[in-house]
């Protein structure tokens, strides 16, 4: 017996409410951009510049006492957060102390870090400092620029690839879906104020790759069906294509989510932001493959008389 998440033959009308689903995606993108503008992103030390000190103690973390101990040092913006993790035992209390880069300095000096550690030890003698991360403001600014260039370059490369392999309408739909995924990911990070660092950028690039893979699979089936059913309405052929690949989509997304949810719960706080971004991205990426990419192709339309032909365009047979 084979496991089936969906029946062997389905006839779901995915485009019955196409204007509504596409409109909801547009609204979600606008709200994400508004949240980004108003709340900003909780940049990690990679992007903000400064020093992050990770502390561990057998005693409960008292954020107020930590802050009061550090305040006389006049270090400016100091962010102290307690880190919760289900894998931590009752005698493992972890906190993150983030200190902004000081004026005229590329990063927080070792003397300042030592002063912070001594001040915290006065509050809690059992406290230890397993890690210290420092990034200068110049380096962090370059990292932000490079990160966004990497995301933009990947989107342009995908636009060019889909244009060659399919048609320009497909490339517009695919890249719009990827923009949708990236913007919604940034929006959720802004609303929840989850730490946004280089690991998150890596997660966004992973999301782009995963989402375009799902989109290309459906596009490839759509191209085959457009040749096979030349007289059928474009919307009907799109519905058929999505239904024929539905089992594959659910199996791929479902098995990936099982592993990601396990990592999200048990993986620890160090990778939680990265795993959360990929988990969220798979959900919105699966949605956008149908309700954004295909909707745009449906709205733009295709010239069924000339494209695609039985051979497709000259690059259609390039191996993915």
- The pLDDT profile of the chain, 320 residues, written as one tens digit per residue, is 566 666 667 777 888 888 888 889 999 999 999 999 998 888 776 677 778 888 888 888 888 888 888 888 887 767 788 887 777 777 888 888 888 776 656 567 788 888 888 988 888 888 888 888 776 655 666 777 887 788 888 878 877 877 777 777 888 888 888 889 989 999 999 998 888 877 888 888 888 888 888 888 888 888 888 888 877 888 888 888 888 888 888 888 888 889 888 888 887 666 788 889 999 989 998 888 888 888 888 888 776 665 444 444 544 555 44
Q: Can you tell me the distance from the alpha carbon of 41 to that of 161, in angstroms, rounded to the nearest whole number? A: 31
Instruction: Please answer whether residues 54 and 73 qualify as being in contact, where contact means their C-beta atoms are separated by less than 8 angstroms.
Output: no
Residue 184: per-residue pLDDT: 93
Residue 41: per-residue pLDDT: 85
Orientation of helix 272-288 relative to helix 168-192, angle to 10°: 140
Instruction: Please answer whether residues 83 and 96 qualify as being in contact, where contact means their C-beta atoms are separated by less than 8 angstroms.
Output: yes
Residue 280: per-residue pLDDT: 92
| pTM tops 0.75 | no
Residue 189: per-residue pLDDT: 92
Reply yes or no on domain 18-43+140-300 having CATH 1.20.120.1200: no
Residue 134: per-residue pLDDT: 74
Residue 168: per-residue pLDDT: 78
Domain ranges for the chain, please list them: 18-43+140-300, 50-135
Residue 79 host element (H or E): strand 78-83
β-partners of residue 78 are 99
Instruction: Please answer whether residues 166 and 290 qualify as being in contact, where contact means their C-beta atoms are separated by less than 8 angstroms.
Output: no
Residue 314: per-residue pLDDT: 47
E-strand stretches of 195-309: 195-196
Reply yes or no on domain 50-135 having CATH 3.30.70.2040: yes
Residue 31: per-residue pLDDT: 94
Q: Can you tell me the distance from the alpha carbon of 131 to that of 96, in angstroms, rounded to the nearest whole number? A: 10
């Amino acid at each position: 017996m084979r496991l089936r998440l969906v029946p062997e033959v389905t006839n779901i009308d995915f485009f019955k409410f196409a204007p509504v689903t596409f409109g909801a995606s547009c609204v979600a993108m606008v709200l994400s951009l508004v949240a980004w503008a108003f709340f900003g992103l909780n940049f990690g030390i990679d992007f903000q510049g400064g020093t992050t000190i990770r502390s561990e103690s057998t005693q409960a973390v008292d954020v107020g006492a930590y802050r009061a101990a550090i305040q006389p040092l006049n270090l400016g913006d100091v962010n102290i957060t307690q880190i919760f993790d289900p894998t931590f035992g009752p005698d493992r209390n972890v906190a993150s102390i983030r200190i902004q880069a000081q004026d005229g300095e590329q990063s927080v000096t070792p003397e300042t870090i030592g002063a912070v550690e001594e001040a915290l030890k006065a509050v809690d003698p059992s406290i230890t400092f397993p890690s210290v991360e420092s990034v200068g403001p110049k380096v962090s600014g370059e990292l932000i620029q490079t990160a966004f260039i990497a995301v933009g370059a990947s989107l342009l490369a995908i636009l060019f690839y889909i244009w060659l392999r399919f048609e320009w309408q497909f490339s517009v739909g695919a890249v719009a879906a990827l923009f949708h995924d990236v913007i919604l990911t940034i929006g959720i990070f802004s609303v929840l104020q989850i730490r946004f660092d280089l690991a998150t950028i890596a997660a966004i690039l992973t999301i782009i790759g995963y989402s375009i893979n799902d989109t290309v699979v459906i596009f490839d089936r759509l191209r085959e069906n457009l040749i096979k059913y030349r007289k059928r309405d474009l919307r009907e052929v799109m519905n058929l294509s999505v239904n024929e690949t539905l089992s594959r989509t659910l199996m791929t997304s479902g098995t990936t989510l099982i592993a990601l949810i396990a990592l999200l719960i048990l993986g620890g706080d160090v990778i939680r932001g990265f795993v959360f971004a990929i988990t969220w991205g798979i959900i919105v990426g699966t949605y956008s493959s149908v309700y954004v990419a295909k909707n745009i192709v449906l709205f733009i339309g295709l010239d069924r008389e000339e494209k695609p032909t039985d051979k497709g365009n000259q690059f259609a047979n390039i191996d993915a």
